[in-house]
Amino acid sequence: MHFAQYYLDCLSQASYLIGDETTGRAVLVDPRRDIDDYLRDAEAAGLRIELIIETHFHADFLSGHLELARATGATIAFGEGAETGYPIRRLRDGERIYLGVDPATTADGAATTAGGAATTAGGAADRADQAAGRAGRAGRTAGRTAAGAPSGVTLTVLATPGHTPESICVVVHEQPDAPEPYGVLTGDTLFVGDVGRPDLLAAAGLTPEEMAGRLYRSLHGKLLTLPDATRVYPAHGAGSACGRNLSTETTSTIGEQRRYNYALQPMPEDEFVRLVTAGQPATPGYFAHDAALNRDGHPLLDPAPPAALTLDAALAACRDAGAVLLDSRPLAAYTEAHFTGSLHTSLDTRFAEYAGSVVEPGTPIVLISDPGTESEARLRLARIGYDHVLGHVPDPAAELARRPDLVTRTHRLAAGAALPADAQLIDVRNPSEYAAGALPDAVNLPLAALPTSCATLDPDRPVVLYCRSGSRSVIAAALLEARGFRDVRDIVGGYEGAVSACG
C-alpha cells in the first residue's frame, strides 16, 4: 500500500493519497487546490488517481477536486447526502472500494461493493453491458464472481453526519480480510483531541444541537466501534477554526482518542451536545463562501503570478473598483510604516484565514508584499477562494519612503502601560481563550466577528485591542483604522505580555 499524508501548516489541513502498488490504482482524499505535489508523487509511485473523495463540503478552504478531476480524469465522490452543481458519485454507507485485484471487475477499474453490487471508481454501466463482456472502468455486476476473493488495498465508507449532513469517514484496509483496519480518515468528524464543530449550518436551518446529536451517534455508533489500534488521520490540526481543542499531532489512534479526547469520554448524548456547542471559535467570514463554492463549483486555479502595479494604479483600483490594499509583510515592518487604510495579515501567520476574516469575499485585492513573496501570497488566498487579486506593488519599502504623505504607523501600548481615558478595551481572541482569563473590563469581540461587531463600538472614543501575543490585535487595529476609527492602539505582547508585566 502507498499511503501519504499531505499536511499544509498554514491552513492546518491534511489530504491523503492512498494507492495499491500492485494495480497502480489510487484515490485522493480532501485535496487542496494546488495539486502539483499529488500529481508528481503519484507519477513517481506509478499510481493512477482514479477517484477523488471529499469527506464533506469544506468551509475553511477551497478544495481541489475540480482541478484534480480535470488533470487526471478521476471521478469526484461525496457522501450519499451531497447535492452538488457538478457530476459526482455518491458513496453509500458500508460501501467498499477495491483498489487491489477484484475478480468481479475488469483489470483496469477499481471496484466497489455495497449490498451485493460492484461499481468501479470510474462510473457505472448497466448489467447487460457487463454480461456482454463490454469491459471498462465503469463496469457493474449484480454480485460477486466465483473466480476468487479480492485482494489488495480496500476502503470502506462510513456515513458519519454531524459536522455536516453529508460527512463521511473512510476506513483503510491493507487487505479486504485484514483482522484490523490500517487506519481511518476521519475528515472533520473526529480530530486528534477534539471533534468536528456542529454549528456551521445554522443558515441551512439545521441547529447546532441537532447536528451535535447526529455527531454523537456517528462517533459512538461508527468510529468508536473500530479497534483501538486503528490509526486516526483527521482533515485538520491545531490552529484550525473547525474545532476548539485540536492537537498539534496530525495522527493518533482510536484507542488514544477514546482515552484522552475530552469529547469522547463516557457521557450521555445531551451532555455531549451541551459540551460541543459551547465555546467554539468565531467563524471566519469566508467559511460560508467556501462551502458554497465547494458545493456548487468554482473556476479552476490560475497559477499565473500577480501582475505588477504602480502605486498610482493600486490607489486608483481602491478608489474606483472598491479594492483593498492587503499588506502581507511581517508584523514589525507593517507596524513601523504602512499605507493608510491598508489591511494587514502577515505571511508568517495564518495569512489566508485572517485575510478571509477581514476581507469580504469577492473584494478585489492589491498585495503589498515583500519582493519575491507576492506569488505565495496569491496562492494562499486562492486556497480559500480569493481569486480577485488585481496585482501587487513591487518594492513597497521604496514606495513607502517615496510617499510619506500616504504613510502611517500602528500605535502600540507597552504591556502594563496605562490605558487612555475612556478607552474601549477589546479582547479579539476566541471565546474559549477569553473565558480562560481576560484583562479587567475587556469586552470579547473575536477577530473573525469584528467586521460586523465593530458596529457596537464608538469610532470617536479610543480603542485598545489585545490578543494572546500581539498578532491578531494588529490585524484588528488595521481593520478598525480602515473603517474610520480615529484612535486605535494595541497592546504589545497581548494578554500574555500584560499578565507578565503585572507580575
pLDDT in tens, 206-233: 899 999 999 999 999 999 999 999 999 9
Q: Could you give the CA distance from residue 487 to residue 480 in angstroms, rounded to a whole number?
A: 9
Residue environment code for 457-473, b if the CB has 16+ CB neighbours within 10 A, otherwise e: beeeebbbbbbbebbbb
Which range has the worst mean pLDDT, 45-54, 135-144, 231-240, 457-466?
A: 135-144
CA-to-CA dists, residue 6 to 12, 73, 111, 233, angstroms: 10, 21, 25, 11
Is residue 311 within 8 Å of 398, Cβ to Cβ?
Answer: no
Is the pLDDT reported for residue 135 higher than 70?
A: no
What number is the average pLDDT over the span 357-373? Answer: 97
Give this prediction's pTM. Answer: 0.89
What number is the average pLDDT over the span 409-432? Answer: 94
Is the pLDDT reported for residue 133 higher than 50?
A: no
What number is the average pLDDT over the span 187-209? Answer: 87
Coil, helix or strand at residue 201: coil
Is the pLDDT reported for residue 351 higher than 80?
A: yes
Residue 131 pLDDT: 31
Residue 158 pLDDT: 98
Q: Could you give the CA distance from residue 4 to residue 16 in angstroms, rounded to a whole number?
A: 6
**184 has which bridge partners?**
171, 232
Mean pLDDT, the chain, rounded, equals 90
Is the pLDDT reported for residue 181 higher than 90?
A: yes
Beta strand 111-114 with 407-408: parallel, antiparallel or unpaired? unpaired
Residue 503 pLDDT: 58
pLDDT grade for 241, boundaries at 50, 70 and 90: confident
Q: Report the first-to-last Cα separation within the chain, whole angstroms.
A: 55
Q: Could you give the CA distance from residue 189 to residue 61 in angstroms, rounded to a whole number?
A: 16
Q: What is the pLDDT of residues 463-483, one digit of tens each?
A: 999 999 899 999 999 999 999
Is the pLDDT reported for residue 55 higher than 90?
A: yes
Coil, helix or strand at residue 326: strand
Is the pLDDT reported for residue 121 higher than 50?
A: no
Q: Could you give the CA distance from residue 56 to residue 169 in angstroms, rounded to a whole number?
A: 9
Is the pLDDT reported for residue 109 higher than 60?
A: no
Residue 147 pLDDT: 53
With residue 195 as reference, give the H or E element that holds it.
Answer: strand 194-195
The angle at the Cα of 197, spanning 196 to 200, to the nearest 5 degrees, equals 130
Residue 130 pLDDT: 33
Which range has the worst mean pLDDT, 92-106, 251-265, 359-373?
A: 92-106
Q: What percent of the chain has pLDDT over 70?
A: 90
Residue 280 pLDDT: 86
Give catalytic residues, as residue numbers.
467
Residue 157 pLDDT: 98
pLDDT grade for 343, boundaries at 50, 70 and 90: very high
Residue 401 pLDDT: 97
Residue 15 pLDDT: 98
Is the pLDDT reported for residue 393 higher than 60?
A: yes
